[in-house]
Structure 1
Amino acid sequence: MPDTTHNLTERYQELFGIDGKVVCISGSSRGLGRSLATCFGRLGAKVVLSSHNDEELAGAEAELAGQGIEVMAIRADVRSHDDCKELINGTVGRFGRIDVMVCNAGTDIIKPAHSYEEPEWDEIVDTNLRGYYYCAKFSAQAMLDRAGGSIIMTSSVAGSLGVPGLTVYAATKGGVNQLTRTMAVEFADRGIRVNAVAPGFINNFMDGVHPNLDTPYQRRAMDLTPMRRRGNLSEYFGPYIFLASPAASFVTGEILYVDGGYAAS
Structure 2
Amino acid sequence: MSDQNVRLTISIDRLFGVYGKVVCISGSSRGLGKSLAGCFGQLGAKVVLSSHNAEELRQAEAELADKGADVAAIHANVRSHGDCKALVNGVIDHFGRIDVMICNAGIDIIRPAQTYDELEWDDIVDVNLRGYYYCAKFAAQAMLSQGGGSIIMTSSVASSLGIPGLAVYAASKGGINQLARTMAVEWATSGVRVNAIAPGYINNFMHGVHPDLDTPYQRRAMARTPMGRRGELSEYFGPYVFLASQAASFITGEILYVDGGYAAS
The count of corresponding residues between Structure 1 and Structure 2 is 262
SS in 2 for 1:58: helix
Pairwise CA distance, 1:217: 2.8
Aligned to 1:109: 109
- Give CA-to-partner distance per residue, 1:89-136, whole Å, 9 cap, x none: 000000000000000001011111011100001000110000000000
Indicate whether 1:247 and 2:253 are aligned. no
Distance 1:77 1:68 in 2: 27
Q: Which amino acid in structure 1 is aligned with residue 147 of structure 2?
A: A
Aligned to 1:236: 236
Distance 1:114 1:214 in 2: 24
Structural mapping, 1:19-98, within 5 Å? 19-98=19-98
SS in 2 for 1:55: helix
Q: Which amino acid in structure 1 is aligned with residue 252 of structure 2?
A: T
Aligned to 2:162: 162
SS in 2 for 1:136: helix
Distance 1:218 1:174 in 2: 21
Distance 2:109 2:219 in 1: 19
- Give CA-to-partner distance per residue, 1:26-83, whole Å, 9 cap, x none: 0000000000000000000000000000111011000000001010000000000000
Aligned to 2:199: 199
- 8 A contact 1:50–1:57 mirrored in 2: yes
Aligned to 2:187: 187
- Give CA-to-partner distance per residue, 1:135-193, whole Å, 9 cap, x none: 00000000011111000000000000001111000000000000000000000000000
Aligned to 2:261: 261
- Give CA-to-partner distance per residue, 1:195-249, whole Å, 9 cap, x none: 0000000000446547xx4332331121010010000000000000000000000
SS in 2 for 1:4: helix
Deviates more, 1:180-189 or 1:201-210: 201-210
Distance 1:244 1:197 in 2: 12
Q: Which amino acid in structure 2 is aligned with residue 117 of structure 1?
A: D
Q: RMSD over aligned Cα, in angstroms?
A: 1.2
Distance 2:99 2:143 in 1: 7
Distance 1:127 1:176 in 2: 11
5+ residue gaps, structure 1: none
SS in 1 for 2:19: coil
Fraction of identical pairs, as percent = 74
Q: Give the structure-1-normalised TM-score.
A: 0.97
